Structure 1
Amino acid sequence: MPAISNKGMAMPESPIRKLVPFADAAKQKGKHIYHLNIGQPDIKTPVVALEAVKNNNLEVIAYSNSAGSASYREKLAAYYQKHEIPVTSEEIIITTGGSEALLFTLGSITDTDDEIIIPEPFYANYNGFATSNGVKVVPVQASIENNFALPPIADFEKLITPKTKAILICNPGNPTGYLYTKEEIEQLAALVKKHDIFLVADEVYREFAYDNAKHFSVMAQQGIEENAIMIDSVSKRYSMCGARIGCVVSKNKTFIQTALKFAQARLSPPTFAQIASEAALDTPESYFTEVIEEYVIRRNTLIEGLQQIKGVKVATPKGAFYCIVELPVKDAEDFARWLLEDFDYQNETVMVAPAAGFYSTPNTGTNQVRIAYVLNKKDLGKAIEILAKALEVYPHKA
């Protein structure tokens, strides 16, 4: 049999999706599953985006520019400028989702065996993107005790070596829901400036900031124009995960020119999805006001419910729609699988994402799960009740 590459063998499974076969089997048995494992919003996609596709009269679905259609990039730049992010269309490359934006970024700024410093826990696919590029993730551990705030800058600095090419953050965070403050961004900016490395910020949840907090973008931070790279996406903002449209943004011309070569190699982002994404920019501000109000209700329902379960510890998110939950179990992955295979309450169960896959440090987060509060208040309440019942009878408690 021909050999599979070492890189392929080293690719990690997604903690978000790896248990899908067990969920499918549970559904075949007639169980109803409350999906808390994946960040798929149930909020409706803006009508204006759907109508732009339905009513389009294209006769040929042609390639777009490799950097994305000019009209979309110009309109997107105007959107950013409205949100105090001073960028131009030439500083934006449209990508096939935020995932491709991250792949282009790593491909442009790293070589094999280079290092990226990331506060952990972090979005699980960062591990996969790093592996596919032959890059080493160097973690800085954040703590549930302070809601996963930015670790001390000294902890970052002591890890910087000649191989370090960037610090990567997700703001607001997936899986933690932590929203970095302006002061924390300023600290990171000073550090990357000092060591002449990149600061890459995955900002796909920028609209989802709660409790009157305000998101502060790395692209708005003065003095790091050559260091800052922003990753963005329409997936969560407009509930358009399946559109697979994202972008990479930077004022560093050499970086943009390099990333464009990767964009040219894959030809172009999808045409119809760009049409929908461009139209989505006309979504009224009231849409976001209502969405944020809904997510605050869901967050409060989830956090208050989890805090009532004995032995459970939960960080309170300030953004996005995720939280990390520490459970009184020995192995959260075993617990998550057991929920699907062996447990139900009134023929219903829940699906969660084991959190160990959101860390790169071995044997870390093994008693934690990530929960996405993308269900309505009623369903979240039922899911919490089921989780509490499950923890009462689970045989492998801590």
Structure 2
Amino acid sequence: MPKISQKGERMPASPIRKLTPYADKAKLDGKKVYHLNIGQPDIETPDGMLNAIKNIDFKVWAYTPSEGTLTYRKKLTEYYNKLSYGITPENIIVTTGGSEAITIAMMACLDPGDEVIIPEPFYANYNGFASQSDIVVKPILSFIDNGFALPPISEFEKLITNKTKAIIICSPNNPTGYLYSKEELEALKELVLKHDLYLLADEAYREFCYDNREFMSPMHLDGLDENVIVLDTVSKRYSACGARLGCLITKNKAVLTTALKFAQARLSPGMVEQIAGTAAVDTPDAYFEAVNKEYTSRRDTLVSALNKMDGVYCPNPGGAFYVVAKLPIDDADKFCQWILESFSYENQTVMMAPATGFYSTPGAGYNEVRMAYVLNNEDLKSAMICLEEALRVYPGKVISSRAEVLSSN
């Protein structure tokens, strides 16, 4: 029997989806499962996107240019220049989802064996994308105690070698919801320029910033035009995860030329998706204002409920729609499986993602979980009641007083 590749053996499974069989079994057993494990919003997709699809009148479903249609790239330029990115359509390559933007950027900028530094916990699929390209991820720990702020630049310096080629950041962050400040980005700028590195900025959650906090992109910093590559997607902004439409943005002409070769190899992004994406740019501000208000309310519901539970600590995130919470448990992977497989409260249970899957450092996140507040407030309240009851009876519960939890954070 032929053997699969060594790369296939090394390719990590998704920590977000690996518990799906247990959730499916719970549903077959008649339990209601509250899905807090994955960032699939329940907010309705803007009417403009859906109507654009309904009103399509082309006669041939044809290839599009490898870099994306000029119509869509022009429309995207309107959107980004309202944010003061100062780009032209030539600075954009349209991709099949944000995932492809990340993989193309990695392949265009790094060779096999090169190293990329990523503050952790980080979006779990970065590991998978790096594995595909034989790139080495060098994680740098951030900590729940200070809300997962950017680690000190001195810690980055310790990791930099002659193989270090890039740093990846995600702000607002998945999985922590942390929003990087201007001061943190300025510090990264100096580091990137000092060591002549690429700075890949995953901005999938740009629209989701709370408490009047201001989003800032590395694109807003002077002197980084040759270093910054923005990775973006319509998935979260327009609640259109299934569209699989993203883009790569940079002012570095060599990166654009190289990235286009990878884009040509996969032929083209979808026509229908770009038609919908073009219409999406005209989504009224009122849509985002309502969404932001709703997510702020959901965040407050979730964080408040978590921090009232005995032995639980959850920092208040500044953006995105995720939290990472520390629970009084022995093993997050075991707990997240147990709550689906062996527990129910009033015939309900909760699906979460063990935070271990968002770390590369062995042992990190062993008592943390990621939750996405993509359910309505009433469902979130019910899910938190269920979680609190589960923590009361979990066999691997770690006993600590509320004072001990607070004093350690």
Q: Could you tell me the TM-score, scaled by structure 1's length?
A: 0.99
Task: Name the Cα RMSD after superposition.
Answer: 0.6
CA distance in 2, matches of 1:242, 1:228: 27
Listed as ranges, the matches of 1:118-197 within 5 Å are 118-197=118-197
Listed as ranges, the matches of 1:244-283 within 5 Å are 244-283=244-283
Query: Which residue type is aligned with residue 266 of structure 2?
Result: R
Correspondence for 1:333: 333
Query: Which residue type is aligned with residue 235 of structure 1?
Result: S
Deviations 1:22-45 (A, max 9, x none): 111111111110000000000000
CA distance in 2, matches of 1:316, 1:270: 38
Deviations 1:142-161 (A, max 9, x none): 01011001110111112111
Q: How many residues align?
A: 398
Correspondence for 1:87: 87
Offset, 1:318: 0.2
1:116 aligns to 2:111 (yes or no): no
Correspondence for 2:401: none
Correspondence for 1:25: 25
CA distance in 2, matches of 1:272, 1:173: 29
Correspondence for 2:37: 37
Query: Which residue type is aligned with residue 269 of structure 1?
Result: P
Offset, 1:8: 0.7
CA distance in 2, matches of 1:329, 1:377: 25
Offset, 1:388: 0.1
Offset, 1:366: 1.1
Query: Which residue type is aligned with residue 213 of structure 1?
Result: R
Offset, 1:314: 0.9
Offset, 1:46: 0.2
Offset, 1:385: 0.3
Query: Which residue type is aligned with residue 386 of structure 2?
Result: I
Query: Which residue type is aligned with residue 213 of structure 2?
Result: A
Deviations 1:195-230 (A, max 9, x none): 101011000100000111111111121101000000
Offset, 1:5: 1.1
Query: Which residue type is aligned with residue 50 of structure 1?
Result: L
Structure 1 contact 86–220 (Cα < 8 Å) conserved: no
CA distance in 2, matches of 1:122, 1:248: 19
**Farther off after superposition, 83-92 or 245-254:** 83-92
CA distance in 2, matches of 1:212, 1:321: 16
Offset, 1:313: 1.2
Correspondence for 1:75: 75
Query: Which residue type is aligned with residue 387 of structure 2?
Result: L
Structure 1 contact 120–140 (Cα < 8 Å) conserved: yes
Offset, 1:248: 0.5
CA distance in 2, matches of 1:327, 1:126: 25
CA distance in 2, matches of 1:86, 1:264: 26
Unaligned runs of 5+ in 1: none
SS in 2 for 1:310: coil
Offset, 1:363: 1.2
SS in 1 for 2:336: helix
Deviations 1:39-90 (A, max 9, x none): 0000000000000000110111100010001010011011100111111110
1:243 aligns to 2:263 (yes or no): no
1:388 aligns to 2:380 (yes or no): no
CA distance in 2, matches of 1:270, 1:225: 29
Correspondence for 1:204: 204
CA distance in 2, matches of 1:104, 1:57: 32
Query: Which residue type is aligned with residue 378 of structure 2?
Result: K
CA distance in 1, matches of 2:222, 2:91: 16
Same amino acid, percent of matched pairs: 58
Structure 1 contact 192–199 (Cα < 8 Å) conserved: yes
Offset, 1:7: 1.1
Deviations 1:234-253 (A, max 9, x none): 00000000000000000000
Structure 1 contact 186–221 (Cα < 8 Å) conserved: yes
SS in 2 for 1:49: helix
CA distance in 1, matches of 2:240, 2:141: 31
Offset, 1:316: 1.2
Q: After TM superposition, what 4+ stretches of structure 1 lie above 4 angstroms from structure 2?
A: none
Offset, 1:397: 1.3
SS in 1 for 2:140: strand
SS in 1 for 2:159: coil
1:364 aligns to 2:360 (yes or no): no
CA distance in 2, matches of 1:294, 1:200: 29
CA distance in 1, matches of 2:388, 2:3: 46
Correspondence for 1:231: 231
CA distance in 1, matches of 2:9, 2:316: 36
Correspondence for 1:217: 217
Correspondence for 2:403: none
SS in 2 for 1:48: helix
Deviations 1:271-303 (A, max 9, x none): 101111110111000100010000000000000
Correspondence for 2:397: 397
Listed as ranges, the matches of 1:49-68 within 5 Å are 49-68=49-68
CA distance in 2, matches of 1:182, 1:272: 37
